[in-house]
Structure 1
């Protein structure tokens, strides 16, 4: 009560009896609620359900015009605590919240000017439109909209601190906070219109960034190693080693990464995640396996069928393509063979023909193998440069 009575038991009871009514002497004057919060922790991000779980320290301020006294007349008492359930409190909610778990805080502080401070600790599960295109180097921008549920313009909202101060306070507690780090907190006040009714709202944009080290170490680096092994497998001699079995083992191992990523990425997203490069790498490994099948088939001609190499294949592969990729012919071995065949030309004509056919098919296989290997290496290099460039831009 205003006047000389001060915060006595009787005066408090009179205020408690008016709890259902908004504490304004003139009801045409709105009650202004000041809001601030500290983002204490990001507890989890559910990409599949598009939900963000956070822990907030929320602080509300408003004025009760019935709780005003002079401290000098009350033994210097300038602030008291009262049960929140006995006083009127604004019905401030977060519009995006799917689940709200609040720890009990039964008291509020009231100073002699009637200004009330109510501190609450909230565990919020809120809807957030998650952008996972650049996963695991993604930055999320989630919205918290504070406003009254029932009251229209008779309850106004405004920030109790500047958005910069809220951001700095939150960063102080989020410095060592798990997978996510806080980038910034922005906000603005606006008016929400629904028909003829209008609500005062304050919108906060909480920008958080994922720490990608775990995903880089457990997924990207092992994936790069497998791709490197796939590239080095082209140096295995295709005529004496079962290169196809080796590549199929690599493909099987790579499939494990795709199964792991299935559990991490949302089932529906606004855009294709960048991590889809795993699927592209798998496709490249399948292409390299097809190349091995082709080369094995070519070498099969040299060892089983002894068919003569067509003239156009000799010209295109052994002449032009071999020159283009700088294929080195094994000159010393050929000279020895030629010398040997000259000495035994008359007696070993059939052996000479088989050796020539074997050499030709082997060279055709090697030239095609080198050509396809260089094309495959060029594809992987271009793709890696594009991915690295895009990630550097996002980071």
Structure 2
């Protein structure tokens, strides 16, 4: 019933060893880790020993209730211990007690999921006593970290989402109210297997973004392009709703993959709005006013070169083919035309006696020619006006083409940078 030492001044040394046999669950939202470990405690009972030859055995098993058992606990416990009860412990002939039992540990762990699904977590299991300080009890490790890792990898039975990749052991001292408590901290390094999330989340999302990128090859003024993009946005939204259960939920940090999905959806929406804008420019640009000078210079002189659109050679000349001889017709010419008409009429007098009477007078011919001239002048004015409207419309269309090419370049840069970051994180975490 008391601490098994020869004198009360003697410090009892308790060694702690563990073996991880299962990683059951990692809850990102609750920030908890559930594992199954073999916990081995060893301590010596002073004065308890026997002769192996005389007694015929090196160890015996007795009820735990008949011995003093240290109050070793794990400080990260978050739930009631539901481990199976082991009523017996072993005592060997030298007086050492071996308390070996299976423990289901539901411990708190600060999970950082920024690099999900390529994240590596570091969780701790701190072994200490409830009441005994360093004056009475010291807690030490029984094996090295390399031995714990090797034995755990040989004994582990679960092949789930997480794998154990490292173990570190740090003896430390806790100071509370001028009392020192001995501790041993086991750090378990866990790595998530990302294959499930890469196949179900990243690859389909990259496929949809690539298909949306290929939609820029469609004519920008085509109505089918906007319908195609709306269908893609709808499909991507349904995809995110279906795969929402696979994403971790925590209020501390936002995973990088969530930002990737949000940016992908934002780019799809931006490309749809840009397609609507360009379609409107192509069909209604003749109703717009002249583009501002600064906008024309910025888009057509600088940004067009940046996105590899060659400038178009503008021709401001207007060629209207008119019969210039009509503007220089004189009365003498009209009289000659009339005299020639009279000679032809005399020659044909036998064929048609009334033809000369029906010939128009010179004044009437001049009046008709003046009407023709006015009509051609009006046509020329309309052509000039139409040409000016076409020039304004073409300038707006060129601006729309530059905007379309800029967004296409932004899309390519975003996809390239995203792929490089994902592959880099995956490679770095895999080589841990």
Please tell me the TM-score bracket, short chain as reference: 0.7 to 0.9
Determine if contact 2:17/2:39 at 8 Å carries over to the other structure.
yes
Match of 2:30? Answer: 49
Match of 1:373? Answer: 408
How many Å apart are 1:363 and its aligned residue?
Answer: 4.8
Determine if contact 1:47/1:264 at 8 Å carries over to the other structure.
no
Q: Which has the larger radius of gyration?
A: 2
Q: How does 1:131-280 map to 2 (within 5 A)?
A: 131-153=112-134, 154-174=136-156, 177-256=159-238, 258-259=240-241, 260-261=243-244, 264-269=247-252, 271-275=253-257, 276-280=259-263
Is 2:269 aligned against 1:283?
Answer: no
Question: Secondary structure of the residue that 1:98 maps to in structure 2?
Answer: coil
Separation (CA, whole Å) in 1 of partners of 2:178 and 2:13: 21
Q: Which of 92, 99, 111 is equivalent to 2:72?
A: 92
Separation (CA, whole Å) in 2 of partners of 1:137 and 1:182: 14
Determine if contact 1:22/1:88 at 8 Å carries over to the other structure.
yes
Separation (CA, whole Å) in 1 of partners of 2:218 and 2:145: 61
How many Å apart are 1:39 and its aligned residue?
Answer: 0.6
Determine if contact 1:134/1:391 at 8 Å carries over to the other structure.
no
Separation (CA, whole Å) in 2 of partners of 1:92 and 1:47: 28
Separation (CA, whole Å) in 2 of partners of 1:325 and 1:148: 69
How many Å apart are 1:50 and its aligned residue?
Answer: 0.5
| Structure 1 unaligned spans of 5+ | 1-19, 332-340
Greater shift after overlay, 343-352 or 197-206? Answer: 343-352
How many Å apart are 1:378 and its aligned residue?
Answer: 3.0
How many Å apart are 1:240 and its aligned residue?
Answer: 2.7
Separation (CA, whole Å) in 1 of partners of 2:5 and 2:302: 93
1:393–1:342 CA distance, 2 compared to 1 (3 A): farther
1:368–1:172 CA distance, 2 compared to 1 (3 A): same
TM-score normalised by L of structure 2: 0.74
Determine if contact 1:60/1:119 at 8 Å carries over to the other structure.
yes
Greater shift after overlay, 227-236 or 359-368? Answer: 359-368
Separation (CA, whole Å) in 2 of partners of 1:249 and 1:109: 70
1:53–1:342 CA distance, 2 compared to 1 (3 A): farther
Separation (CA, whole Å) in 2 of partners of 1:344 and 1:92: 109
1:343–1:148 CA distance, 2 compared to 1 (3 A): same
Q: Which of 301, 304, 312 is equivalent to 2:284?
A: 301
Greater shift after overlay, 125-134 or 307-316? Answer: 307-316
Match of 2:52? Answer: 71
Greater shift after overlay, 20-29 or 50-59? Answer: 20-29
Determine if contact 1:144/1:205 at 8 Å carries over to the other structure.
yes
Greater shift after overlay, 50-59 or 169-178? Answer: 169-178
CA offset digits 1:224-275 (Å, max 9, x no partner): 1111011011112232333233223322333345544476323322x44222
CA offset digits 1:275-303 (Å, max 9, x no partner): 2222122222222222112212211215x
How many Å apart are 1:125 and its aligned residue?
Answer: 0.4
How many Å apart are 1:173 and its aligned residue?
Answer: 2.9
Question: Secondary structure of the residue that 1:55 maps to in structure 2?
Answer: strand
1:343–1:219 CA distance, 2 compared to 1 (3 A): farther
Determine if contact 2:133/2:179 at 8 Å carries over to the other structure.
yes
Separation (CA, whole Å) in 2 of partners of 1:315 and 1:36: 74
1:28–1:391 CA distance, 2 compared to 1 (3 A): same
Question: Secondary structure of the residue that 1:96 maps to in structure 2?
Answer: coil
Q: Which of 292, 305, 312 is equivalent to 2:275?
A: 292
TM-score normalised by L of structure 1: 0.81
CA offset digits 1:18-50 (Å, max 9, x no partner): xx2222232321222111110111111000110
How many Å apart are 1:317 and its aligned residue?
Answer: 5.4
Match of 1:62? Answer: 43
Aligned length: 367
1:81–1:319 CA distance, 2 compared to 1 (3 A): closer
